[in-house]
Amino acid sequence: MAELTLVDAVRAALAHALEEDPTVVILGEDVGVDGGVFRATEGLWQRFGRDRVRDTPLSESAIAGMAVGLAAQGFRPIVEIQFQGFIHPALDQIANHAARLRNRTRGRLTCPMVLRAPYGAGVHAPEHHSESIEAIFAHIPGLRVVIPSSPRRGYGLLLSAIRNPDPVVFFEPKRLYRAQREEVVLDGADLPLDTAFTLREGRDLSVVTWGAMTRDCLEAAEALAAEGIEAEVVDMATLKPYDAATLLESVRRTGRCVVVHEAPRTGGFGAEIAARLAEEALDALVAPIRRVCPPDIIPPLPRLEAAYMPSQDDICEAVREVMAWR
Amino acid sequence: MQSGPREMDETAKGHGIAFSRFLTPDGTLSGTAPGFASDRAELVALYSGMLRTRAFDAKAVSLQRTGRLGTYPSSLGQEGVAVGLAAAMRAEDVLIPSFREHGAKLWRGASMKELFLYWGGDERGSDFAGPREDFPDCIPVGTQYPHAVGVAMAFTLRREPRCAVVVGGDGSTSRGDFHEALNMAGVWKLPVVFIINNNQWAISVPREAQTAAATLAQKAVGAGLPGEQVDGCDVIAVRDAVERALACGRGGGGATLIECITYRLSDHTTADDASRYRDDNEVSPHWAEEPVARLREHLVKAHGWTKAEEERLRTENHAAVEAAAEAYLATSPQPVTAIADYIFDALPPDLRAARDRIAEGGNG
């Protein structure tokens, strides 16, 4: 048991995986002697050596492509892309190769790899350091998209991602990296992928979210409780393939849903949630589904960042609006 | 337009790019040829591999023209590259092809039926019964190069004396993945052999419009790697260069780039019509350089290759190709549910439900 932040928990999961499985290798820019720009791999190079924890040239596409080659050869590469905003060159390798290798070869070659990348806004970062583009990845068949929202879930979900026989992109909300400490049992136990977590139960409506916004949603739910509104908070955690059963069960019970994400609106993953509910739970809905998310704008530079991010007030207001429907 | 085998120019010399050719277009072998080049059985094996490839290509094009195969990229005129590189490789090496290395795949033990299946639209054609670790064809141009870096890294981590051999065309050398992979292989001294089949055309774009570099081989120099050119229509030169590069990789000497100069005698694929962008006048001289006739000339002149032997080989190839085509055409399609079965190791609930609907005749 240890009191860990999310970034500590990520590091602990990486260390556990390197310890338990000799085929696990870490690749990325500055992941070695420097321990990663967020220190997610701090000390691992010193402990496990250069063959297991490897600094690469600044070459996102080839890092991802090389991981495909390693994975096809029976290794379990864990790639760190320094920021999600820099993952685009790797998208070709992820979509055209990592996600398809099993299918293309009828299972002869497989691709058990994890691509980790810090994502999200709210930390006053430079340009291109605040993206939230999970929906692009969730659109790719053959890929798992996992986003932890706490140290415990960071530890357990990352271990599952590494042990999974298929490619996983693992987006770490950097706003939460050091925002919270939590007791984490470092026993190597993993948490299930493809499973949503109900973080707060509530009878009145379902707030569906993931990543850094879960904290804002939980805080909003507490504030709303004082007004007599009991919101259920569901952390989707795995966006693809996602846990429709938990989502549908919750909304069928409450009859109301607000989806909260920090990615832009159009084509965001909230649209998938809303479409699924419209297809399969329309009869149970007593109010329109509301999305709380930024409009279709580029994450602004830090001075206007607050205007971009959905706030606790935005969430509360949307909830009140949805609750006003009779 | 300058294309095909040629003397290196000043720029290439400046980068120390050597050009090798042992067998001239008229079938004369130079005195400096490697040892295997005087061994009749070795030469017959190379010749046989190329002739088989040509027969396979011809059948594939004919199947496509009659509506029984999908779009197909012929390797006509470039058989020397595929066969030469495969002959140099060991079974335990791994081939990471582009999509024109039919001859290499057949040499390494993929079956003609599997190749027909793949180009006929069936994923089982990439589930080679023979070379289990070889990569399937790579359609997005140039994206295969980083895979070779990873495969070679795996060999290095396991201390195995094996090499990754990756192949691409002249057009692919303009892509970032090519340069990124060369760079990484250089940094880590990985056992990779990068082979460029420079057939002078990337669909309609000629080699000269692809890059201002005098050679493609010199692109290795910027990554700190050796690069060389060979006459890709000389299967002996290809095999020799790849053998040397493999020995270098196996011995810890790192990666090599080999530019094989060939000419694409066919269209890019069966979906292409090269007459839209190049004259027959441009193509016809290259028929005098093609690799199959060249080696046959040499076998006849230097090794007493007889008409009867030639006839027997052609008959055997014809029978093998026809039998494979029949087996391919007689192969039942996969069950429709197969479209969902290989997306993940285990089907998640949504896909399981979709698979059930597909099984009942729906679209999932």
Q: Is B264 a catalytic residue?
A: yes
- Say what the pTM is: 0.96
Residue B6: pLDDT above 50?
no
- Which of B310, B307, B289 has its CA nearest to residue B234? B289
pLDDT band, very low/low/confident/very high, at A96 (cuts 50, 70, 90) = very high
Q: Is B72 a catalytic residue?
A: no
Residue of B nearest to A62 (CA): B146
- Give the Cα separation of A314 and A305 in Å (integer): 15
Using the Cβ of B148 and the Cβ atoms of chain A, whether some distance falls under 8 Å is answered with: yes
Q: What is the pLDDT of residue B362?
A: 87
Is residue A14 within 8 A of residue A158, CB to CB? The reply is yes
Short-list A32, A39, A101, A37, CA closest to A64: A101
Q: Does residue B348 carry a pLDDT above 70? A: yes
Cβ contacts of A104-108, under 8 Å, gap ≥ 24? A104/B123, A104/B126, A104/B136, A105/B123, A105/B126, A105/B127, A105/B136, A106/B123, A106/B124, A106/B126, A106/B127, A106/B342, A107/B127, A107/B342, A108/B126, A108/B127, A108/B128, A108/B132
The band of B13, judged by pLDDT with boundaries at 50, 70 and 90, is: low
Chain A nearest C-alpha distance from B126 (Å): 5
The reported pLDDT for the residue numbered A109 is 98
- pLDDT on residue B8: 46
**Chain segment B288-325, per-residue pLDDT in tens:** 999 999 999 999 999 999 999 999 999 999 999 999 99
Touching A: B residues 167-186, CB under 8 Å: 176-177, 180-181, 183-184
Are A59 and B183 an interchain contact pair (Cβ–Cβ within 8 Å)?
yes
**Which residues on chain B are in Cβ contact (under 8 Å) with A67?**
150
Q: What is the pLDDT of residue B5?
A: 43
ipTM summary value:
0.97
What are A106-131's pLDDT values in tens digits? 999 999 999 999 999 999 999 999 99
pLDDT tens for each residue of B180-224: 999 999 999 999 999 999 999 999 999 999 999 999 999 999 999
Residues of A in contact with B147 (CB under 8 A): 65-66, 68-69, 72, 97
Interface contact flag, B342 A74, Cβ < 8 Å = no
Tell me what the mean pLDDT of segment B79-89 comes to. 98
pLDDT of residue A326: 84
Structure tokens at A183: 């007791």
Q: Say whether residue B140 is in contact with chain A using an 8 A CB cutoff.
A: yes
Residue B122 confidence (pLDDT) above 90: yes
